[in-house]
Homo-oligomer: A and B are copies of this chain.
């Protein structure tokens, strides 16, 4: 008997029950044709992750569950779906249903295979808001001749001690206990929607290896791929054997990982054949020996980051029905790289770059912007803002003269925002904001100016990472025999907002390598100012950086979604009080 389980690595759209069902059916058919006997979807694949408050609508849950139970497939599939509660006052479960041959003859309730036990409620996760936890081990018997342990995402993380707080239960340990009592399982599967951040894959590998080792049989994790709002999912579905051997599906791609339980070397990757399948990065299957922890080298991390950011914008556009993008091109590194991302996401022919020089813009700004647009093949327009600027100054000159200098500087950024938005409104395009995490953290950006736009593709990249992405885009262009889109001038000039004569960012901010290090230590490392200074940074500079971070929370409240690529991003996982800028450490 064949022992092949297909991990269906799909890109579900939140709320699109019909579309998700169709995508799942296509992946299941691909798996069936290639001889899989059983398929496994990702967590909540029928409704996409995270469905957020759609789950508060009872008819949504009922419809999702029944859609998942009735997929038209020729092999049995275990599908992630919300499950309606027994009583109206109870919360739904985050569960797994069985569909396919035989299952279709059973009533809906009998098709339930498992319910999630550990509900993460930290960082970007709100599962205690939506679900009731279960306390029974998930076991599916003799489906296509296999006996399987069935777990959902977080269920597997407690055993590896990889959760921030300690749950009362440990589903992996419970399954192991059943094993010790004589229940023989062929494998344990895990339906996941585990969000991406840099270095996350190594954690997942550790989790799967730990589970396989405890359970003493293969442990298979099917993980969602694609972007939903600010959350990215990298795919990288994987299987671990008890000896530590691991096989990993490609990231940023839809397809099927065919897992031959008895032969790691026979595993294969089947790319999705759908015309609109997510298809970023390469198709390589990775095989890790037991002593390889799966951590990537710095260069590979940058390529992965690039693919992550491209996936975020690609899916945001596809899922929102956005066909074209417009952005301001300043000749600086941020807008150049944002243009590269936009071109990769919707095709260069659907991107318009607009250079909007002011009286403070240097000629190199216009030339460098033109270089990026031409190399990428964008539509390009130049609209000087000088006469508009003068007209506005004529009308509100008195207001500006009496006040802070920044008012006049911001005027230019806001005129540019107004032009980009006019183009977007006229053409039905989406404007994107070009800011990066370092400047957004410091408030070194203009609300309704360069922050204008429906999506901020670089919003979770520190400034130095933006340079890294520029190198990746240049390398990729050169490998295809094309001109590098980010030229040396853009790459090497000192960053400047060009809103005042001879202005450069370093007049107002620490050098970016230092700023990035301080921000990362605080935002992601959770260190306070004192601890950061102890790492060798000037204490006054650290205090300035952290103070600006606090004081600009109100600006970030209004930033558009940015794809999350770091362990702590500004957005859904960052719930800060806003109207209180008090330094409690000093009180």
Interface residues of A (CB under 8 A from B): 13-19, 21, 47-48, 50-54, 56-57, 59-60, 63-64, 67, 89-91, 121-122, 126, 128-129, 164-166, 227-229, 315-316, 319-321, 383-385, 387-388, 390-392, 394-396, 399-400, 402-404, 406-408, 410-411, 414-415, 417-419, 421-423, 425-428, 447-448, 452, 454, 526, 528, 554, 557-561, 572, 574-582, 584-587
Contact = CB atoms under 8 A, between A and B. Distances in A.
B575 A126 contact: yes
Nearest to A52: B575
B387 A584 contact: no
B54 A577 contact: yes
Given A53-B575, A577-B50, A584 B129 contact: no
A17 B584 contact: yes
A580 B48 contact: yes
B418 A392 contact: yes
Determine how many copies of this chain the complex contains. Answer: 2
Contact of A584 (B15, B164, B447): B15
Given A13-B582, A63-B584, A574-B53, A407 B395 contact: no
Contacts of A319: 579-580
B52 A576 contact: yes
B410 A422 contact: yes
Contact of A581 (B21, B321, B385, B400): B321
Q: Which 8 A-B pairs have the closest CB atoms?
A: A403-B426, A18-B587, A391-B391, A407-B425, A407-B426, A128-B128, A16-B582, A14-B577
Contact of A129 (B122, B387, B408, B427): B122
A366 B236 CA distance: 61
Contacts of A414: 414, 417-418, 421-422, 448
5 contacts: A17-B587, A48-B577, A315-B579, A388-B392, A407-B422
A64 B584 CA distance: 9
A314 to B, nearest CB: 11
A228 B320 contact: no
B579 A316 contact: yes
Contacts of A320: 554, 578-581
Given A122-B129, A385-B395, A579 B411 contact: no
B415 A399 contact: no
Nearest to A452: B448
A584 B145 CA distance: 35
A335 to B, nearest CB: 18
Contacts of A402: 426-427
Contacts of A64: 584
A57 B576 CA distance: 12
A47 B580 CA distance: 11
Contacts of A50: 577
Contact of A587 (B16, B89, B417, B572): B16
Nearest to A454: B554
A426 B404 contact: yes
Which among A51, A129, A316, A423 has the greatest number of chain B C-beta atoms within 10 A? A129
Contact of A166 (B90, B396, B526): B90
Contacts of A587: 16-19, 21, 67
B59 A528 contact: yes
A421 B67 CA distance: 50
Given A17-B587, A396-B422, A558-B560, A577 B51 contact: yes
Given A56-B526, A403-B427, A406-B425, 17 more contacts: A15-B580, A16-B587, A17-B584, A18-B582, A48-B580, A64-B584, A89-B164, A129-B575, A320-B581, A395-B419, A399-B422, A404-B425, A404-B427, A407-B422, A410-B425, A447-B452, A448-B448
Nearest to A578: B229
